[in-house]
A and B are shown apart, each in its own frame.
Chain A
Amino acid sequence: MTDVAERSEANVGRVLHRKEDAKLVTGQSTWTDDIQLPGMLHIGVLRSPMAHARLARVDVAPALEQPGVVAAYSGADLADEWVMGLPCAWPVTEDMVAPDHWPVATDEVRFAGDTVAVVVARDRFSAADALEHVDVDYEPLEPVVDMEEALRDEVLVHSEHGTNKCFVWPLETGDVDAAFSGADVVVKRRYIQQRLIPNAIEPRAVVVDPTTASGEYTLYSATQVPHFVRIQMALVLGIPEHRLRVVAPDVGGGFGSKLNVYAEEAIALAVARRLGRPVKWTETRSENYQATIHGRDQIQDIEIAASSDGVLRGLRIDLKADMGAYLQLLTPGIPLLGAFMYCGIYKMDAYSFTCTGVFTDKTPTDAYRGAGRPEATFAIERIMDDLAAELGVDPMELRRRNWIQHSEFPYDTVAGLTYDTGNYEAATDRAMELFGYDELRAEQARRRESGDRVQLGIGISTYTEMCGLAPSRVLGSLRYGAGGWEAATVRLLPTGKVEVVTGISPHGQGHETGFSQIAADALGVDFDDVDILHGDTRVAPTGLDTYGSRSLAVGGVAVHKAAERLIDKMRRFAAHELEAAEDDIEFDRGTFRVRGDPDSSTTIQDLSLSVFTAHDLPEGVDPSTAAEYVFDPENFSFPHGTHLCAVEVDTDTGAVHVRNYTCVDDCGTIVNPQLVEGQIHGGITQGMAQALWEEAIYDELGNLTTGTIVDYYVPGAPDVPHFTTDTTQTPATTNPLGVKGVGEAGTIASTPAVVNAVLDAVRHLGVDDIRMPCSPERVWRAVHDAGQQTGQDLSDDTAGGRL
């Protein structure tokens, strides 16, 4: 580890401004929709306006007569393009129900937005116009929208399977019955994780450039996962994998929504293959709301058992997770990523978890920032507050009594994971100090005492998460369809510059900057002399892409290891050139020296040129100045932190104002503090949005009533408070850089912190639950209803006016 410390003097650990920015602040970036190819045609997709219907007739002939239209296809017309349906790569149980999912529906549509037909035209406007001329007879079928209703199996999404139950997945450790029967206190709650729409600001887009004569295809896609897309599209379309190149150009955010393999990618390939012309499809925002995956949508029944002194005994979770109408790439696995996190940072004797996956006639769900872990963290952090209220102890005190002490790491949790490191005390102490916890509690008491119309609430979230997905053997045990390793190649060029090829695929995180810092330090070269290549399967053929806060913790470590491997390789050339034994060659900050002979040295750059010329090489050694490393982590990593939120709740209007948000996160060794801070800010905002603003709502017929960005509230700058952030650094012990990952932490942490704060503000009025998002209406109703139940009259002066 000392070598890491030395290198950190150079680049790792410092703020270096991003390499990515120059093109982005000048408008010179290339998003998929920016790509124009000669003769390119535009695809429009007709989507079902009904949540469930039989397609009695799909007639595309009238559309073909419209100006500019080149081709039009029904699902039946394209059926012979598919070797198989769209894949689900995570069959979580052996008996999981996995319905057929064709890129274009043929007999039935099962959610509003399901694909019905495809029109191809000379420009996007002609395509959009012509879609209105496709003649479709829908025979309405009854939709099922509510998960619990779906579980009754009276109305079926996929009648051929006879059930809406996709899978049941259990996990049990310890003696759960004993833990509960021996407990002094049991708190039972139901929490609702509302459905969310990810809203990456760049809509999805796909371009396909075919060379039909040789059977080669280049697919450009606004995706987080070009490697996944390549494998799956090769299988769906029957294109030999080596003939399919997938490029993720500049990608404008993902948050999980672009961690998928979508119908439109298959459709664009099929159309390009049929017509032999380049094609483009770009979704509109409203289309995105129907056709791109949604997140969350779970019902959590949770029970926690404790002794009277607040020591936790056991935890029971009965989870229902809405799959939507079909399984997308990872749909069934998402809620299971939470299975291991419901115990949070706490010690307890026993744990049981059961997840039931349920089909409904709605847009499929899949990974949305945090993916399973925000839900789990919300549940445990909220019930800790509910338990604290039940026991009459300070919620932070209750947490302290139960969390894993710094001295107890590594710690095997009740859910079966081994947390390698953590220091919850340090992060919490720092956060409470920055926040002014005691002063705020005092103010809260004053406001309660005086019956202030505006009450103050303090919310806590002492979260951890598992990220750095993932050890391949663990993924295998969970029946995930791939590994979790990541690849890197580090290449010295003849002039001494460096190319790093990574299999991760960034879309805003700043990996080019962070990975350059890692490579520059490892090789002892300038930060500016390193370029990071990614996102093109022809440039970076080996990789598993970006999701699950894995890019640094797996991909960044791979870069470090590849650089070390390259130095070992170069050491042989140095020994030859300096006429010394390999064991006598030392490497420090870019220079190879003969031990004990400081004048005898060569730089890594000079050596690169001499290996390139290959005029004088050691016997039997090939003149390669590149090294590859594929890193498979031995464990997940476990970032943690303490997030504290103070809100003011107007008991007359239900309005919530976030007054103070303070957090201290521990994501291990920090490569670039500015990038970490940015991830935390954005992450908190998305989690806060779930707590306060966002919800995808379907009516009973399965219409998405929040179907545009007008109706679904994505927070803007005036909504979001200033965040006070800080970090502690407890290095991970499971990788040589000590890094943990930070992409999802803020989102995982913030939702419960905010909701706990809202509840804390009004709990003394008799409120013990408010559903997310905690809108003014919901908060007001909760306060009002509690007042009626307890006979309190909260607001003599305004009661008439506000009703």
Chain B
Amino acid sequence: MPRISVNVDGTAFTDEVEPRLLLVHYLRDRLGKTGTNIGCDTSNCGACTVVMDGLSVKSCTVLAVQADGSDVTTIEGLADDGRWHPLQKAFHTEHALQCGYCTPGMIMASVGLLADNPDPSDEEVREGLEGNLCRCTGYQNIVKAVRTAAAEMHEGATR
């Protein structure tokens, strides 16, 4: 079996994995990183989104072997020493989650979105999160939260 070395949420792991193993199953079943969820089997829902080498990816479309040598951040590694990321805070204060199942993926996709476009319009947020489905919120508060977080991150960066 292939051997991979992956850094996940700041910890280095080396494991032998089946070639067909998906990154999301590696994270969940092997590393116990159950913060990353699975919502579909066709790469549509985005619940499993993580950030890999700076880009948001659906971890069900990445084989674990493709993550060899990569740096992966999941929702569990997003807070900085217990301090929530501005997106985590904004999702909370803007009520951008209800059941919360899509939330880890939605937040990690938003991390990728804001890395590309630090000051998106409402439309740009909607387009940017097109690959992440939420059945509870109707998206309006998610859009609001991403823009609130963007503003906070901008403020933090220029301070």
In the assembled complex, which residues on chain A have CB atoms less than 8 Å from the CB atom of B35?
A: 26-29
A509 within 8 A of B: yes
In the bound complex, do residue B42 and residue A708 qualify as a contact, i.e. CB atoms below 8 Å apart? yes
Q: How many A-B residue pairs have C-beta atoms within 8 angstroms? Tell me.
A: 169
Given contacts A717-B130, A720-B139, is CB(A202)–CB(B101) below 8 Å? yes
A681 within 8 A of B: yes
**A: number of interface residues (CB 8 Å):** 56
Q: Mark B111-131, 1 if CB is under 8 A from A, else 0.
A: 000000000001101110111
In the bound complex, do residue A255 and residue B135 qualify as a contact, i.e. CB atoms below 8 Å apart? yes
In Å, the complex CA distance between A606 and B153 comes to 45
In the bound complex, do residue A17 and residue B130 qualify as a contact, i.e. CB atoms below 8 Å apart? no
In the bound complex, do residue A508 and residue B136 qualify as a contact, i.e. CB atoms below 8 Å apart? yes
In the assembled complex, which residues on chain B have CB atoms less than 8 Å from the CB atom of A25?
A: 75, 84, 88, 91-92, 97, 100, 103, 107
Partner of A682, one of B75, B98, B101: B98
In the bound complex, do residue A285 and residue B39 qualify as a contact, i.e. CB atoms below 8 Å apart? yes
In the bound complex, do residue A508 and residue B99 qualify as a contact, i.e. CB atoms below 8 Å apart? yes
In Å, the complex CA distance between A240 and B71 comes to 51
In the assembled complex, which residues on chain A have CB atoms less than 8 Å from the CB atom of B45?
A: 201, 285, 709
Q: Mark A693-730, 1 if CB is under 8 A from B, else 0.
A: 00000000000000011100010111010110000000
- Measured CB to CB, the nearest residue on chain A to B131 is A716
In Å, the complex CA distance between A36 and B29 comes to 9
In the bound complex, do residue A717 and residue B143 qualify as a contact, i.e. CB atoms below 8 Å apart? yes
Q: Which of A201, A285, A507, A510 has the most CB of B within 10 A?
A: A201
A595 within 8 A of B: no
In the assembled complex, which residues on chain B have CB atoms less than 8 Å from the CB atom of A717?
A: 125-127, 129-130, 132, 134, 139, 142-143
In the assembled complex, which residues on chain A have CB atoms less than 8 Å from the CB atom of B84?
A: 25-26
In the assembled complex, which residues on chain A have CB atoms less than 8 Å from the CB atom of B53?
A: none
In Å, the complex CA distance between A693 and B92 comes to 29
B66 within 8 A of A: no
In the bound complex, do residue B141 and residue A678 qualify as a contact, i.e. CB atoms below 8 Å apart? yes
In the assembled complex, which residues on chain B have CB atoms less than 8 Å from the CB atom of A250?
A: 100
A684 within 8 A of B: yes
In the bound complex, do residue B38 and residue A27 qualify as a contact, i.e. CB atoms below 8 Å apart? no
In the bound complex, do residue A17 and residue B95 qualify as a contact, i.e. CB atoms below 8 Å apart? yes
Given contacts A682-B138, A717-B139, is CB(A201)–CB(B99) below 8 Å? yes
A253 within 8 A of B: yes
A154 within 8 A of B: no
In the assembled complex, which residues on chain A have CB atoms less than 8 Å from the CB atom of B133?
A: 201, 709, 714, 716
B40 within 8 A of A: yes
A749 within 8 A of B: no
Interfacial residues of chain A within 15-41, with CB under 8 A of chain B in the complex: 17-18, 20-31, 33-34, 36
In the bound complex, do residue B134 and residue A27 qualify as a contact, i.e. CB atoms below 8 Å apart? no
Cβ distance A744 to chain B, nearest Cβ, rounded Å: 13
A251 within 8 A of B: yes
In Å, the complex CA distance between A20 and B97 comes to 10
Cβ distance A754 to chain B, nearest Cβ, rounded Å: 13
Given contacts A255-B135, A718-B130, is CB(A26)–CB(B88) below 8 Å? yes
In Å, the complex CA distance between A202 and B142 comes to 18
B64 within 8 A of A: no
A115 within 8 A of B: no
**Supplied contacts A507-B99, A718-B130, 18 more A-B pairs, CB within 8 Å:** A25-B88, A26-B88, A27-B36, A27-B76, A33-B38, A201-B39, A201-B102, A201-B133, A251-B99, A252-B100, A255-B135, A674-B95, A681-B139, A714-B44, A716-B130, A717-B126, A717-B127, A722-B122
The 3 closest A-B pairs by CB, nearest first: A27-B35, A252-B101, A508-B99
